[in-house]
Each structure stands twice: as C-alpha cells, then as structure tokens.
Structure 1
Amino acid sequence: MKLFYTCFITFLIFQLNYAQQKIKDAEHIKTIILQPTLANNYAPIIRLGESIQLIFDDLNADEHDYTYKIEHCDYNWNSSNLADSEFIDGYAEDRIRGYENSFNTLQPYTNYSLTLPNDNTRIKISGNYKIYVLNDYDEVVFERRFVVYESKVTVGVTIYKSRDISTINSHQSVEFIINHPSLRINNPKEEILPVVIQNNNWQTAIEGLKPQFYRGTQLLYKYNKETSFLAGNEFLYFDSKSIRNSTLNIAKVEQGRDLYHTYLYTNEERIDKPYTLFEDINGNFVVRTLTGDDSNTDADYSWVHFSLSCLENLDGKDIYVSGNFNNWQLNETNKLTYNAENGLYEASILFKQGFYNYQFVTKTADGIINNSDIDGSFFQTENDYTVLVYYNKFGSRYTKVIGVGYGNSEKMNN
C-alpha cells in the first residue's frame, strides 16, 4: 500500500509540474529541432503513422543519459488524462539511445537524436502531443509540441487581402472550407474546432471560429476580420555555414578566446521603407557546415552579434530577435538591449552553424507581441498558413485532429 501511495503522489507531482504551458529550455541545451523526416518540411505536424525526428545538442558534452516522455493533450494543450496504453503502443517513456559527440569543433557538445515511431514507441491516435526530455533527476530540460492528424476531412485554404480599408495594405486574411463527405458531424459549431496558424508560430494562432455557412458536406469559413493576420515583412537572414568568413549579411568574423564571433551588418528599421521581395523560409532554420560531412556533429557554434538601428517610439516595449531557432520564445537570451554609446539595440546569441531566418518583434508589459513595429507590415509578404481541424465529438474522451490544410500568400486571390 505504501508503494502504491508513493507512486500515486509521484504521478500527481509529474502532472502538476508538466501542466505549465511553457517550460524554459535548459541553458546547456541548444539547437532543438522537431520536424517530420520528410524533406523541406519544418512544421511539427505529421499524419498518423508518419515519422517525426527530434534532434538537440547538450553543450555539457558529457554523454548524459536523457529520457523522453510523450503526453497526449487536449485542444488547449492540457493533459488529456488518457492512460499511456490508450495512445501509445509500447512505452510512452524511454531512454534516448541515439547520441554522438561533436567532432573537431571549438564548442564541444553531444548531439542527441530520436525518431518516432520507433521499436519501443508507436503513436496510436491523433491529437496534440507534448514531448518532454528529462535528465537523470527527472527534471525537464525542455519540452516541445507536435500534432498528429488523421485524414478524415480535406481543407481548402485561400489567402486574401484584408477587406477592411484601414488594414488593406498591412493584413492578410485566411478563408477555408472543410470537406467531410465520409464523416458525419452532428453539431459542427460545437464539435469542429479549427485553428489557423501563420508560419508555424503558435503565439499568434487564431482559434474559436464557427462555420458561417453549410453547403452539403462542406463547412464554410468566410471570415475576414476574424481571420486577419498582420502580414509582417520578409524575414531577415544570415548564413554561417562557413564560420571563418564574412558573407552577404555577415560584416566580419573574429576568433575569440574560445569561440568565433560573427558580427552581422546593422539592421535598419523597415517600417517606413517600401516592400522588397527576397526569398526566405518563413522563420525557420537549417543547420549546415562546409567543413564536415555530418552537420549534426561537425557544425560548430559561434556568438552571433545583432545590432538594430531604430528611431521608432518603443516606450514600454521590449525588442527581441525572434524565429523558430528557439521555438519563437521571447526571453532574456534573445532580448536586445540599448547601447547608449552607439545608439543601437544589441544582442549576442549562441548559434550553431547554418542558415537562419529571424525578425525583430516587440512585446509590451501586457504580453502583446507585434512583428510590425520595427519591420513594418505589407500585404505582399509571403507567408505560410496552416489550418488544423480538431474534432471534439460529443461523448468522446479525447479531441482528434481530423485534417490539415495549407495555404501560401504568394497566391493572393484579390
């Protein structure tokens, strides 16, 4: 009986600790990648049965033993309280066995990799999932979200300019249709829960939409204002695959006492400048190096120095370097500070070699995030949009994801 209560209390503590929406990444854990194994696919969204890969570096470089734990979540990313056996075939928690030390790098690290499904863990149902990585003391060093869907419905996504004259030049609106010819939905307004995401950034996701019209086995969402996003501007970028050399956006490279220092050209605010098209990968990144065969273990780290010239009135707002390189998190690590001597906002962030997209965003004390205060917002900006369709069937014990649709603003329909 004593053992039972001990296990029960441990379980409750686990649930309470992990109930937080966001867990700060441990400082020694860097370059976390969670994406499908399919090429050129960055969003952690997979079809049931497909593979997703987790890769990360431990800068302690001590071949530490890490375990992973998979948790099934509801629509709001809280634990669905299903038993492990209900959503996992095998073990929901297991050791990460794939790891290798870096080779010939100034910054030593151990690179870890995990692929799901594997021989010990196979996901059985669709839905929202969290993967936790724990150390020997059962402490969470980081967590990431991913989505598993079933193809029960198809989703047609169309991008438009805003119909509101006040935002017509700065916003993009998303309209979509859910087709369900083989699925009977009794109460679409209550059971169907779509989520619209721009550039795989959940911080600005739009939820709570109800179908406006019904046409046979189609649900039509013809909103404009309610599904309107700030279009933002094309992402800035740098490429450090050659860590010793300056490139298009890298002004100079210096070798410090321990690591290289990569100084980017000073970025100027773009809010009052005309829109300029240049190719980006919408906030994502690719680890790569020219000096090795395996970028996971041969790519080195360097301190990347950002500087921003900005004359806008940003009183009460903090400025951050934002992108998928740190899961769009806004914290002290990627916060810019004002240098009164040169009049620039500056930040120094540790990056693994590769091609990185980034943008400058502001955040108020109330937590309002804006990607246009510095770089402006232009309806011509190329953005990716994803519509996830959640199905909370009446009487069901969990929320399914029954379809996904994609759209891109390059194909504007106005």
Structure 2
Amino acid sequence: MTAKNTYFILFFLVLSIDLFSQAEEVSPPDFIKTISFKSNTTQGQLPVLKLGEPLILEFDALNANEEDFYYVIEHFNFDWTPSVLAKAEYLRGLDNQRILEYYNSFNTYQVYSHYKLQVPNIQTRGLLKSGNYMISIYDEYDELMFSRKFMIYEDMINVGVKVKRSRDVSVIDEKQSVDLTISTNSINFNNPLETIKTIIIQNNNLNTSISDLKPQYTLGNELIYRYDTESAFWGGNEFFWFENKDVRTSNVGVQFIDLKDIYQSYLYTNVPRTGKPYTYNPDLNGNFQVTALDRSNVDIEADYTMVHFSLAQEELIGKDIHVYGNFNTYAIEPLTRMEYIPEKDKYEVSFRLKQGFYNYKFVVVDSETGDIDEGAISGDYWQTENNYKVLVYYRDLGARYDKLIGYGEATSVDISN
C-alpha cells in the first residue's frame, strides 16, 4: 500500500468519525458564569424556541478584562450528529462574529462583564430551519470557551403528553411514565416507524432524556405511545433550594452570611432523604432565577457570592458526590465535586453563584465508570412534581435533515394511574 493510499484511508476514517460522532456541550472555565437563555421560556431552562422567535444568550465573565468573544452556530440531526446542511441553508447572514453588547458590573464586590447576544442581529439575520442547534463561544485566540444546545421547532402537529404512574409493579412507587399522542391534519406521515423521532426530557435535563421511541399504534391521523417501561423515568424528589437576593443577611435556605473578598453564603446542612416519607415542596424543577433586592438591573447589579454547600453523609468509598442542577446544565465537573470532611462527618463544597433563587440536589457518581445515581441521596417517589418536555422530529423520505415539527409539555401535578 502506498503512502498516498494510506493517507486517504486515514482521512476518510477521521471524516467518518467526525460525521457520526455526537456533539456534547462543553462546560465553561471557572471565570464564566450564569449562562442563560432568555425567551418565552423561563431564564435558565432548556431553550426550545419557535421558528422565528429570537434567541437571546447571556453570560458573565468574572475576570474583568472586557474580552472579545465570538459565536458560531451549527445545525445537527435528531441524534446530535452533524447535519449535511450547508451553513447558508440554515443561517441567513454570517456567524463567527464578535458579541458586541456587553456591560460592566456596577456597585458589586465581584467585578464582572455581562455579555448579551441576540439572534437575529446585524450580522446574523436569522435561523431558517427547525431542528437541533449548538452555539459555541470562542475567545479572541479562537479557544472554545463553552457550548450550549438549543432547539427550534415548527408548530405543525399537536403533541399530547400525559404523566402516569409506572405500569411496572416492581417500581410503581418510584417511577413515572409518559404517554404521548401525536396528531396532525397537515402532514401525511410516511412510514412513521422510521420517519418520526421523539425525545422526552425530564426537568430540562438532556442527560436523562429518553429518545427514539417508536409509535405503538396508529389510529387515523394519530400516533399513540403507551409504553410500560421504555418511557418511564425515576421520580426523584423535590429539589433543595435557597435564595440569596439580599447578600447582607440570611434568607431562605441560608444559615448565615460572611464578608471576605466577596460575600459568603453558608447554606443549612442538608440530610439524605432516601427512604423517608415524601414531602411536597414547590420548586423550579432544577432551574434558577437571578434576583437581587433593591436593584433595578440585576444583569449588572446583582453580586456574586461564594455559596457553601454541605451534606450530612458518611463517606462513600469509590463514589463521589456532586451538587447537581440547571445552574450549569446538570454537568458533572470538578467545580461541583464535594469533599468529605472526616472531623465533621459531612461533605462540603463551595463555588460562586450570582444572587438569585437556585434549585439543586446531590447525586452520587461512580468514580470509575462515571455513572450517575440521582436517587441515592434524594430518593425516588412517584408523587414528585416533575416537568416533561416532548420534542417530535420528522425526516420525510428523501429529506436531508430532521425537522422539529412539534413540541409538547406536561407536569406530573395531575399524575394518574
């Protein structure tokens, strides 16, 4: 085999790996905080936008250097492999442009710059196709700072979502099942077992989503999904939460405040809840909301505090405990890893968060495999109030990309047998 042939084989191997690899979000460095999307959905949630609705991405840079950041937008298939669409087919205008709008913090101990990107803008005049997208933020040295997924849907079908208790008797007290009904008068589904794709997302957490379930029944123009186990989620428990909108005094969930270089918020020590009776406690289903008392513009006037988490838990050998929530899109990273303190017989960790209302919980991660056990500390209960989003994709015969043609949502407040 000649060197030229070897080169071409290696080239196509690398190309095929790139084409079929699934895109993953990249977590930001420690100086970038409070990444959030603002739209018709609540701040901090998974962004599912209607085609034509503006995309607004905001974040803070805590190094006070007023750096230049650039954005790149890419289109993906249902399974987060790169789509074959050329950029001009899904984006009107140009990306890889500098984020022009930013403001410096005002009257805060933690100095930061608040960046805001809105699409459409002068350079990027709009997104043309529905489907999965990834926005990546680069610094002026072309180094990737972070990336975030978002979805754009067309309102072409009706998506009915109902939450039921699990039909599996062995986990009936711990799991919730999601039933779907997809109906339309505008589309004739060709071979729906192959052309229709679905994804069910619990509490805006893509890590635990269930995807690609096939319709079980077809009744006229309706597709019915009523699985016994395949569409079941662990119920989990209500999230812990705290609010520190006033940094000068303790608030809900905050035991006491201290001031060093920045304010320190020491939360009450939490205890494991697995095996204990379920107690309803309204939450934001893992999300967060930036708020600050007596501030007119929380984007630049809300301060950052060092939040101290603690959990009364004996040491777990071979396992790690992490603080878990949508404040970092449920990422497992060194920042959220708790350290066991033998003399206190508890786990502790602290990191910076912007003033606001935050949901969080503790999860156990296997040190070797990285497997996450969300219910090990909190427990799993069928009564838990959870939010479920359902996305429906369609690729007609001969089509080149997966359209996101419908979006449905429900909560388990009205869960039934």
TM-score (norm 2): 0.92
Deviates more, 1:28-37 or 1:217-226: 28-37
Distance 1:93 1:123 in 2: 14
Q: What is the deviation of 1:115?
A: 1.5
Distance 1:335 1:396 in 2: 44
**Which residue, out of 187, 190, 202, partners 1:186?**
190
Q: Match for residue 317 of structure 1?
A: 319
Q: What is the deviation of 1:24?
A: 2.8
Alignment of 1:322-361 (within 5 A): 322-361=324-363
Deviates more, 1:82-91 or 1:142-151: 82-91
Distance 1:315 1:340 in 2: 13
Q: What is the total number of aligned residue pairs between the two structures? A: 398
Deviates more, 1:365-374 or 1:325-334: 365-374
Alignment of 1:261-300 (within 5 A): 261-300=264-303
Distance 2:212 2:266 in 1: 43
Q: Match for residue 177 of structure 1?
A: 181
**Which residue, out of 380, 384, 389, partners 2:387?**
384
Distance 1:399 1:324 in 2: 27
Instruction: Please give the per-residue CA displacement for 1:204-256, whole angstroms capped at 9, x wherever unaligned.
Output: 00012111000001110011210110010001101010011112311111111
Distance 1:119 1:413 in 2: 49
Instruction: Please give the per-residue CA displacement for 1:82-119, whole angstroms capped at 9, x wherever unaligned.
Output: 21110011113322111000001111000001122233
| Residues 1:66 and 2:75 are matched in the alignment | no
Deviates more, 1:152-161 or 1:358-367: 358-367
3-state SS in 2 of match to 1:374: helix
Does the 8 Å CA contact 1:175/1:224 hold for their aligned counterparts? no
- Structure 2 segments unaligned to the other structure (5+ residues): 1-14
Distance 1:209 1:19 in 2: 19
Distance 1:40 1:60 in 2: 23
Q: Following superposition, which runs of at least 4 residues in structure 1 exceed 3 angstroms of deviation?
A: 37-41
Distance 2:249 2:211 in 1: 45
| Residues 1:77 and 2:110 are matched in the alignment | no
Q: Match for residue 213 of structure 1?
A: 217
Instruction: Please give the per-residue CA displacement for 1:166-206, whole angstroms capped at 9, x wherever unaligned.
Output: 11111000000110221011110111010011001000000
Q: Match for residue 148 of structure 2?
A: 144
- Structure 1 segments unaligned to the other structure (5+ residues): 1-11
Does the 8 Å CA contact 1:35/1:43 hold for their aligned counterparts? no
Distance 1:160 1:314 in 2: 34
| Residues 1:104 and 2:107 are matched in the alignment | yes
RMSD: 1.7
3-state SS in 2 of match to 1:25: coil
3-state SS in 2 of match to 1:210: coil
Q: Match for residue 402 of structure 1?
A: 405
Distance 2:54 2:162 in 1: 28
Whichever residue aligns with residue 242 of structure 2, its letter is F
Whichever residue aligns with residue 128 of structure 1, its letter is N
Deviates more, 1:192-201 or 1:369-378: 369-378
Does the 8 Å CA contact 2:84/2:400 hold for their aligned counterparts? no
Does the 8 Å CA contact 1:318/1:336 hold for their aligned counterparts? yes
Deviates more, 1:279-288 or 1:79-88: 79-88
Does the 8 Å CA contact 1:127/1:149 hold for their aligned counterparts? yes
